[in-house]
Copies of this chain bind each other. A is one copy, B any other.
């Protein structure tokens, strides 16, 4: 195990490196942080810390930087989330609007707020939809040739799609279709709805209708797919340029397009257990992100499932501060989402 002095030195190295970004050597450590040992002693200890894998050199005569193992130890045993100053908390609260009409607005704005607060990249996920239950389909005729299909779930999620009505289809037909959809599907979880819509529904429709009804299966199937698919909201993509080693423009582009497409983000963020987790560098299992760390946290909305927050920054981030911030933020966000639902149920 590490001696107390070794821990102190490791901590100092991480502190210094996080602040300056430069590898740090024995003399600097002694002078700048006025550790009460000689540089030679520190050198010996550093040598030991390197053997143990907590720090490493960038080249044979350079100062040391923390290794993943070093950060890991630091995060797991040496720090605790820093309390956010009241003033910062107020800033978060006032960044949210007073009132939202859709859940997605809250989540997507959260991504922006969090990224601005940290200057890193924020990735947000709303409470998951898969288990929402269908409360109804609506089909609203808009003009002679247009109609809107609307899906509503028991979690107040609304999804809609405008489409063109095939010539020859009558209003009565539309009503029949909606009735069939609703009779068969209301109350089922969306995953079930999705299955049924692709298997049973087409058969039932064929029995009751003479016109071609593929279009409707398509449209409604489409809405369901859209609803079920996890939507990642990414804020501060451009912040990547601040902390990524921006020399490598190609790497930046790869990361950017990963963020932009959104669905591939699952590879990065696994929806596992509760609480706050930190993944450092290679722990992310993705070469692109070997210089990044990711803080992930869930937020609980009682009665409405849980969502996810993630913060992507450089491995050399101020973990203590960021952990505190994410923790506070998830509570604020949970409150905001609760408010939203409460207002709906009032």
Q: Which residues of chain B are near A143, meaning CB under 8 Å?
A: 135, 152, 156, 344
- The copy count of this chain in the complex is 2
Give the contacts of A260-293 with B (CB-CB under 8 A): none
State whether the Cβ of A145 lies closer than 8 Å to any Cβ in chain B: yes
Q: Do A148 and B158 touch (CB < 8 A)?
A: yes
Q: Do A344 and B249 touch (CB < 8 A)?
A: no
Stretch from A159-167, A196-204, A309-317 contacting the other chain: A159-167
Q: Do A101 and B253 touch (CB < 8 A)?
A: no
Supposing A142-B138, A238-B256, A249-B241 touch, asked if A148 and B167 sit within 8 A by C-beta, the answer is: no
Q: Do A140 and B142 touch (CB < 8 A)?
A: no
Q: How far is the CB of A10 from chain B (nearest CB, A)?
A: 33
State whether the Cβ of A245 lies closer than 8 Å to any Cβ in chain B: no
State whether the Cβ of A146 lies closer than 8 Å to any Cβ in chain B: yes
State whether the Cβ of A246 lies closer than 8 Å to any Cβ in chain B: yes
State whether the Cβ of A19 lies closer than 8 Å to any Cβ in chain B: no
Give the contacts of A76-116 with B (CB-CB under 8 A): 101-102
Considering the chains assembled together, what is the distance between the CA atoms of A102 and B163 in angstroms? 7
Q: Which residues of chain B are near A241, meaning CB under 8 Å?
A: 249, 252-253
Q: Which residues of chain B are near A150, meaning CB under 8 Å?
A: 140, 142, 148
Q: Do B164 and A343 touch (CB < 8 A)?
A: yes
Closest to A154 in B: B143
Q: How far is the CB of A90 from chain B (nearest CB, A)?
A: 26
State whether the Cβ of A345 lies closer than 8 Å to any Cβ in chain B: yes
Q: Do A160 and B148 touch (CB < 8 A)?
A: yes
In the complex, how many residues of chain A place their beta carbon closer than 8 angstroms to a beta carbon of chain B? 33
Considering the chains assembled together, what is the distance between the CA atoms of A138 and B238 in angstroms? 40
Considering the chains assembled together, what is the distance between the CA atoms of A161 and B161 in angstroms? 12
Q: Do A146 and B162 touch (CB < 8 A)?
A: no
- Encoded as 1 (CB less than 8 Å from any B CB) or 0, chain A from 166 to 181 comes to 0100000000000000
Q: How far is the CB of A191 from chain B (nearest CB, A)?
A: 21
Q: Do B138 and A138 touch (CB < 8 A)?
A: no
Considering the chains assembled together, what is the distance between the CA atoms of A118 and B345 in angstroms? 52
Considering the chains assembled together, what is the distance between the CA atoms of A254 and B259 in angstroms? 20
Closest to A252 in B: B241
Supposing A138-B140, A142-B150, A148-B150 touch, asked if A346 and B160 sit within 8 A by C-beta, the answer is: no
State whether the Cβ of A257 lies closer than 8 Å to any Cβ in chain B: yes
Q: How far is the CB of A154 from chain B (nearest CB, A)?
A: 9
| Interface of A toward B, CB cutoff 8 Å | 101-102, 135-136, 138, 140, 142-143, 145-146, 148, 150, 152, 156, 158, 160-164, 167, 238, 241, 246, 249, 252-253, 256-257, 343-346
- 20 A–B contacts, CB within 8 A, in A order: A101-B161, A101-B162, A101-B164, A102-B162, A142-B158, A143-B156, A145-B343, A145-B345, A146-B158, A148-B150, A148-B160, A158-B162, A160-B160, A164-B344, A238-B253, A238-B256, A238-B257, A241-B249, A241-B252, A241-B253
Since A140-B150, A142-B152, A164-B343 are in contact, a sample of 15 more A-B pairs with Cβ atoms closer than 8 Å, ordered by chain A residue number, is: A101-B161, A101-B163, A102-B162, A140-B140, A142-B150, A143-B152, A145-B156, A145-B345, A145-B346, A146-B156, A146-B344, A148-B150, A164-B344, A238-B257, A246-B249
5 closest residue pairs by CB, A with B: A101-B163, A158-B162, A145-B344, A142-B152, A167-B346
